[in-house]
Structure 1
Amino acid sequence: MPAFPFTLRQLEVFANLCGTRSFRRTAESLGISQASVSNQMKVLEDQLGVALFVRRPGQRPTLTPEGMAFLDDLKAFQTAGEALASHRRKDPEELPAIRFRVLIGQGLLDNYIRPKLDRFFAAHPQIELTFEAHPPSKELARDVEDGRFDFALIHQRADRPVEPHLRQLALVRGGIYGHRKFAEGRRLPLSSEFVNMLPFIMPLAASSQEREILRLFERYGIAPRRVIGHTQYYDVMAAMLERGVGVASFADTILPAEMRDEVIQLHPLENWRLLWYRKDGGIDPRYDAVQVFLFSSVLQNPDYRTISVFAEEYA
């Protein structure tokens, strides 16, 4: 066997740093000091005789061409190691416990994922899922890129480009939703002039979400004359829609199914993409188990009404 110019610990630190592009986040993730991360990488580069990262003050480290080639070979090395280790596995239950972090939309978690979690955990006792739920925002795609999450399932407006690290799964309707009483005696969709006169429920005042929605409204000729409340919670907003208190920008699939008879789309806006991210897990079957669970919980649920589905296995 050759004498390798690296240790497995150095490879672990290197792989984590490639994912986070942050010495601080890598240190937090591995439970070591930032100085230790820096030292591990310096020793690895000295042992290899090449620079793996470009380091500039105030900027995230980036891979050099040699670093990118080393990362590609490391993936092959990890795959080979998994294949060798698999010879001793007789039962998936023998796999060590693992925790995955999932970035997810609030409505997706509450309406589609949480009701099925008990069955997933019963079937996969060695897998722990921790969720970080947020309302839709353009910042979510950036949060995925920093490597903190193992999976992400989020909505993003369809007028925005899909980042290379994300995969488009489906397209769903977006618009201004409210109680059907607002449309009585009128033809749908309501005109923007009439919609402007309705009472609006908005995200938190002066938040990035509110600014995004106001810019979107402007493109559709909508300028709310009266805002009656602000909330960061989609379920609170949905309940207010059901009671006929006001109207709000919503995605069709996030509206709870039991409300859809009374709460309808009053005016169309930009549609929404369902986007997916999965960190490279080699051939670990537990990554596949989580993916199948998240995909099926959403895309196979008849309440998740889509315009189109791009995940071939669920189309």
Structure 2
Amino acid sequence: MANLPFTLRQLEVFSSLCATKSFRISAENLGISQASVSNQLKTLEEQLGVALLDRKPGRRPLITPTGAAFLQDLQRFEAATTALAAHRRANPVKTGSTRFQLLIGQGLAENFIRPKLGGFLTRHPEVELVFDLHLPRKELDAALARAKYDFALVHQIEPAPVADFLRPVALVRGGIYGHRRLAGGRALPLTADEVAALPFALPRISGTYERDELKALGRHGIRPAQIVGRPPYFDVFVSMLESGVAVGMFTEAMIPLAMREAIVLLYPTETWQLLWFRKDDSYGYYGDIVENFLLESVVGDPRYGSARIA
């Protein structure tokens, strides 16, 4: 089957917006942030090359003529998928499920794994995946050492020591990223003092994590003059960068491909490693299936590959 210019999640978001005429209500119904709803729609429109909804501040989104035609085709597509699903055996043989506990970086999960998760679980309904968000560094090592998780996939600044139970699988560029207009026409990269004067956002994971990030900035002589936000969600963090509200410490791979023209590297810092963990007794055959899915979803994705260091 040819590659399609959309994901099922994007179709779900578009369908919800057509029904609710509200980004807020759609976000609540889908269990995601309004920024994620907006980004999913924006990416869908960019991939299709058309405007599906007419959005103006203070007004409900209105479907465009092209959007109405797309919605009509989407409804036929949904009817076809329902018909295909009807071929499923009425009383399938129950073989039980194999449950895995995963620790995945929030950006990795949102950008690379979640869009492919529906297809994987459809192919392997006997597998149950339970995701936890990235833990602060010390807590992460302790949790993996106790074998609390079956699998983990996280980024770590390259100079930091790597525990014996973690395996490096890729290197990506890291630095201070923000909207290009924050450079104010100055040549890139900016100086440490110029970057320090910009508004910063720090991830809201824990006080320990924030202190570690400030220490990492301090190693480059960067001491933020103002911290304008501590977003709790990855997509909100990226949205702040895209809107020019703040800059932040990122890996290039975590910036959605559609935003890489607007969000640029303002100041390079350390290279980051992508680290992989698999518990020794992770269920043989099913463990191999999950491992292949997770690594292929990230390392095998061209969007991640374009950010890797050869």
Match of 2:259 in 1: 259
The letter of the residue matching 1:137 is R
Match of 1:241 in 2: 241
The letter of the residue matching 1:231 is P
CA contact under 8 A between 2:151 and 2:277: conserved in structure 1?
A: yes
Match of 1:121 in 2: 121
Structural RMSD (CA): 2.1
TM-score by structure 1 length?
0.65
CA contact under 8 A between 1:136 and 1:154: conserved in structure 2?
A: no
CA distance in 2, matches of 1:288, 1:138: 28
CA distance in 2, matches of 1:154, 1:198: 27
Q: Say whether 1:307 aligns with 2:292.
A: no
Match of 1:151 in 2: 151
The 1:187/1:120 distance shift into structure 2, 3 A limit, reads same
CA distance in 2, matches of 1:115, 1:307: 20
The letter of the residue matching 2:164 is P
How many residue pairs align between the two structures? 217
**Which residues of 2 match residues 74-89 of structure 1 at below 5 A?**
none
Match of 1:286 in 2: 286
Match of 2:75 in 1: none
Identity of aligned residues (%): 44
The 1:205/1:297 distance shift into structure 2, 3 A limit, reads closer
The letter of the residue matching 2:294 is L
Match of 2:53 in 1: none
CA distance in 2, matches of 1:237, 1:121: 28
CA distance in 1, matches of 2:135, 2:187: 31
1:107: Cα distance to partner?
0.7
The letter of the residue matching 2:261 is D
1:94: Cα distance to partner?
8.7
CA contact under 8 A between 1:99 and 1:130: conserved in structure 2?
A: yes
* 3-state SS, counterpart of residue 148 of structure 1: coil
CA distance in 2, matches of 1:144, 1:285: 21
The letter of the residue matching 2:127 is I
* 3-state SS, counterpart of residue 137 of structure 2: coil
CA contact under 8 A between 2:111 and 2:254: conserved in structure 1?
A: yes
What stretches of structure 1 move > 4 A for 4+ residues in a row? 93-96
* Structure 2: gaps spanning 5 or more residues: 1-92
TM-score by structure 2 length?
0.66
Q: Say whether 1:188 aligns with 2:156.
A: no
The letter of the residue matching 1:276 is W
Moved more, 255-264 or 102-111: 255-264
* 3-state SS, counterpart of residue 303 of structure 1: helix
CA distance in 2, matches of 1:307, 1:111: 15
The letter of the residue matching 2:174 is G
1:142: Cα distance to partner?
2.4
